[in-house]
Amino acid sequence: MPYTRITGTGSYLPERVLTNHDLEKFVDTSDAWIRERTGIRARHIAADGETVADMAEAALRQALDAAGRRPQDLDLIVVATCTAEARFPAVAAQLQQRLGVAGFAAVDVNAACSGFIYALSLVDALIRQGAHRCVAVIGAEKMSSLIDWSDRSTCVLFGDGAGAVIAEPAEQPGVLSTHIHADGTQGELLHHRPDTGHIVMEGNKVFRLAVKTLERIVDETLEANGLDKSAVDWLIPHQANLRIMLATAQKLALPEERVIVTVDEHGNTSAASIPLAFDHGVRSGRIRRGELLLMESFGAGFTWGSALLRY
């Protein structure tokens, strides 16, 4: 049975940057308040008319180049997103049309901020059973489309962007394990209101629940692989809140410099945040082949998950 290996990464961020000082001009907040509570300094915002598919395509093409693959090599596209402009066709199907390919499966996955981990888990299972050989896994979000820009509790948190990886079978690890969970009974703490189109969040409760849940998923992942926390080379967390991320690193006894952090520049890009951070770590030369990476996420639903992989 083959393993799933990541052969290429890519990312895309819109050109427009919205800083905390920009937000001060139209909402009751401050740079110091935002940084202290979230670690966020700025976020990227999609241009007028720029779509989730636009961002996903740019990230995917970069990942294909990194993997030395062509669109014609793909046999599955999975896009994690909760912000697609239309209910259908899926963003993944739109990407087929843009790439000039057709015939193979293309599907979107919605698990909010955990979407990329969910998508990677599904793809890993399909590759291991021999069903697919060259798969695009993409997280792409236009969170700005769901924001009430007068609500300072949410508008300071989110940004737009996309990250992508190419996954292929390999004889050596590879993805070692993935773990995905959900608890729909907690959904009201963080949800999208269809009547207003905006995000609603009880921030303090979400923060406490996220810290406890991510502690458990770290234990579950290490125990499943018979590994000590000292084996982990890099933590690539969902980029929602710097305090949550550093709490997970502390549990792993990882120094801050072994945590890939992009939340300061990107904000919370939901399903795009982990692949964006992954690509940043790879392209900056920090993450190297053979190192052990722990990805973990927590999002609306509530959903949470992890992936342990040897890059």
Q: Which residues are catalytic?
A: 113, 238, 268
Between CA 56 and CA 79 the distance in angstroms is 8
DSSP state of 82: S
Give the number of other Cβ atoms within 10 Å of residue 304's Cβ. 26
Residue-level length of the chain: 311
**131 residue type, one letter:** A
Going 134 to 62 to 96 to 52, the CA torsion angle's sign is positive
Q: For residue 301, what are the contacts with CB-CB under 8 A and spacing of at least 6?
A: 111, 112, 114, 182, 183, 184, 186, 187
* Adjacency order of strands within the sheet including 135-142: 3-12, 160-170, 135-142, 76-80, 105-109
- Write out the two tokens for 261: 């952090």
Between CA 299 and CA 273 the distance in angstroms is 11
Between CA 49 and CA 191 the distance in angstroms is 25
Between CA 274 and CA 186 the distance in angstroms is 23
- Write out the two tokens for 136: 């695009």
Between CA 136 and CA 34 the distance in angstroms is 35
Between CA 114 and CA 149 the distance in angstroms is 24
Between CA 63 and CA 279 the distance in angstroms is 9
